[in-house]
Structure 1
Amino acid sequence: MKDKAPAIAGGILGLAFITFGLNHFLNFLPTPPGPPEGSPPAMFFGALITTGYFGFIKTIEILGGILVAIPKTRNIGLLALGPVVVNILAFQVFMTGGAGLTQAPVILVSTLSAYLLWSARGKFAGLLN
């Protein structure tokens, strides 16, 4: 089971990023209500969406999700998704004051990413030298 746990975690994490990334382009999930107009989160998303940068982020999420779901390319996928996960957590801490840290997708993505990074820590250690 120990050998299968990273494969299962990678599959779930990959599926999550592929689903949320594709939803930006295909709109198949219900859209939650946005932040109040004029608030920092609304201005932040307004800048990301109007410049097209949000589409770039979602493309990285899709590609990273595919790479993480495939065991041989999982570590490259983690490198691509690492900045996305850090920014998700930073947004929840700084823009919502920590209120969004208890949302299920945030917990799932951050926990699975941390687990996969920890399970492959030997391979990532070379990046720190």
Structure 2
Amino acid sequence: MKAKLPLIARILLGLIFFVFGLAGLFNLIPPPPDLPERLMTFNTGLAASGYFFVLLKLTESICGLLLLIGWFVPLALVVLAPIVLNIFLVHSFMAPSGVPLALVIGLLLIYLAFFAQPYSATVKQLFKRK
């Protein structure tokens, strides 16, 4: 079972980002009507840029796909790290009901990046002093 844990975590995290990335890219899931006002303002500001949400959802979809197929996993984890941090912070400050899912996503990413045998050695190289 221990050997399968990184695979399960990778597939789960990959599915989350691939599915929700595509859903956001193609507007398959409408935003809930009862979003907190601060979150609506935040989303409106980001959408006003004209490119940000497309870039974000495309990045999530591509990284999710990389995790699903097992290619460039350490790179996908590093690229997703600031996105996961932002997901956690947005939910912490603007929509607390989403914090549990944000924690699960964060824990999966931390586990894969720093504790899962096939990927942690590569990610940890980024933190070594020369």
TM-score normalised over the length of structure 2: 0.82
**8 A contact 1:68–1:77 mirrored in 2:** yes
Kindly indicate whether residue 108 of structure 2 is the aligned counterpart of residue 112 of structure 1.
Answer: yes
**Alignment correspondent of 1:53:** 52
**8 A contact 1:13–1:65 mirrored in 2:** yes
CA deviations 1:38-60 (Å, max 9, x no partner) are x3211110011121211111111
Identity %: 31
What's the CA shift for 1:62?
0.5
Gaps of 5+ in 2: none
Kindly indicate whether residue 4 of structure 2 is the aligned counterpart of residue 4 of structure 1.
Answer: yes
CA deviations 1:4-29 (Å, max 9, x no partner) are 21112111111110110111122333
What's the CA shift for 1:30?
5.2
Q: RMSD of the TM alignment (CA)?
A: 1.9
**1:75-114 pair list within 5 angstroms:** 75-96=74-95, 98-102=96-100, 105-114=101-110
**8 A contact 2:13–2:67 mirrored in 1:** yes
Gaps of 5+ in 1: none
What's the CA shift for 1:79?
1.1
Q: Distance in 2 between matches of 1:71 and 1:26?
A: 24
Q: Distance in 1 between matches of 2:123 and 2:46?
A: 30
Q: Distance in 1 between matches of 2:25 and 2:124?
A: 36
**1:63-78 pair list within 5 angstroms:** 63-78=62-77
Secondary structure of 1:27 counterpart: coil
Aligned residue type for 2:23: N
Equivalent residue pairs, number: 124
